Structure 1
Amino acid sequence: MKVTVKSLKGGSSLIDITEKTTILEVKKLVEKDIKIPAAQQTLVLLGKTLQDDKCVQDYPKIKDGTKLFVAIKKQESLNTVLNRFLKKYYSDDQCKLIVDEFMRNFHSKVESLSLDDLERIAKSEIGE
């Protein structure tokens, strides 16, 4: 079946899917056409957020010709992600100390990188 995915910021994509296609796979197809990373996408159908681990067949209202909408999630800061993870194991005060020290070390290491280091990192990330 073919469905249209429209971005709230403009742009759309006509994708071909099956009932067995997962929502995460739909996001990856959208990523190719609209250039929004799958991790930043929230797919919405009739005001309901679609879950990555579910299949198209789990949403009976998705049929041939259906329009889905993609909203872009704001990326979380490194501090927020670290805090959420650490709160499972430490108190709020301990989390703050750990995150503060981590960020100090992180900034120190990043500032010490040379242009050659940055070029090597960039080449390894883009596969050259």
Structure 2
Amino acid sequence: MKLVVKKLQGGECCVEALPSTLISEIKRDIYNKLRIPVQEQKLLFLGRTLADEQTVQSYPLIKDGTKLNLVVKKPDGFYETCVKVYKKSGMSDAEAKKTAARLLKVVEEKFNKLSWDDIERLSADCLAYESGQRRPAPVEQETDSDDLFTL
């Protein structure tokens, strides 16, 4: 069956699904078509959230041509992610928040000390990583002693 996925902020796509297709599989198809990370997707049908571990047939009102609404959840920021990781490692809420705030301050201080060249290289590396590419390692060139004195 064909399902129409309508993004609330605009845009839509069609996905093919069988009754046995998991909602999580539909989300992967949406990622492939709209490039919205799965963890940021929330699929709704008739105002209710569809559960990732459920199949299409778990929702009897979903038929060929059904429109599903897609809400894009805002990803957690650096601070929020750090707090979650620290809490999972056993810290109390207060300890996790304090440690995350300290880490955020250290990162900001370190970043502020970078040169523009360093920031440009870091940005290029981040973009390459996100697109699945690796920037080639810089090749160090040996200088001839004669080259040092020529103009």
- When the two structures are superposed, what TM-score results if normalisation uses the length of structure 1? 0.81
Against the structure 1 CA distance between its residues 13 and 123, is the aligned structure 2 distance closer, same or farther, given a 3 Å change threshold?
Answer: closer
Question: What does 1:65-80 correspond to in 2, within 5 Å?
Answer: 65-80=65-80
Aligned to 1:44: 44
| Greater C-alpha radius of gyration | 2
The Cα shift of 1:38 comes to: 2.2
Give the secondary structure class of the aligned counterpart of 1:70. strand
Superposed CA RMSD: 2.2
CA distance in 1, matches of 2:67, 2:122: 45
CA distance in 2, matches of 1:97, 1:64: 51
Question: What does 1:36-115 correspond to in 2, within 5 Å?
Answer: 36-88=36-88, 89-111=90-112, 112=114, 114=118, 115=120
Against the structure 1 CA distance between its residues 91 and 42, is the aligned structure 2 distance closer, same or farther, given a 3 Å change threshold?
Answer: same
Q: In structure 1, what residue type is equivalent to 2:33?
A: D
Superposed CA deviations along residues 66-114 of structure 1, whole A, max 9, x for unmatched, are 1111011112222122223433522333222211222123334444371
Greater shift after overlay, 4-13 or 93-102? 93-102
CA distance in 2, matches of 1:35, 1:83: 27
Greater shift after overlay, 111-120 or 99-108? 111-120
User: Which structure carries more relative contact order (alpha carbon 8 Å, separation 6+)?
Assistant: 1
Match for 1:116 among 113, 121, 132? Answer: 121
CA distance in 2, matches of 1:124, 1:62: 38
Give the secondary structure class of the aligned counterpart of 1:30. helix
Aligned sequence identity (%): 31
Find runs of 4+ consecutive structure 1 residues off by over 4 angstroms.
none
Gaps of 5+ in 1: none
Gaps of 5+ in 2: 135-151
- When the two structures are superposed, what TM-score results if normalisation uses the length of structure 2? 0.71
The Cα shift of 1:36 comes to: 2.6
CA distance in 2, matches of 1:109, 1:125: 23
Give the secondary structure class of the aligned counterpart of 1:87. helix
CA distance in 2, matches of 1:117, 1:12: 34
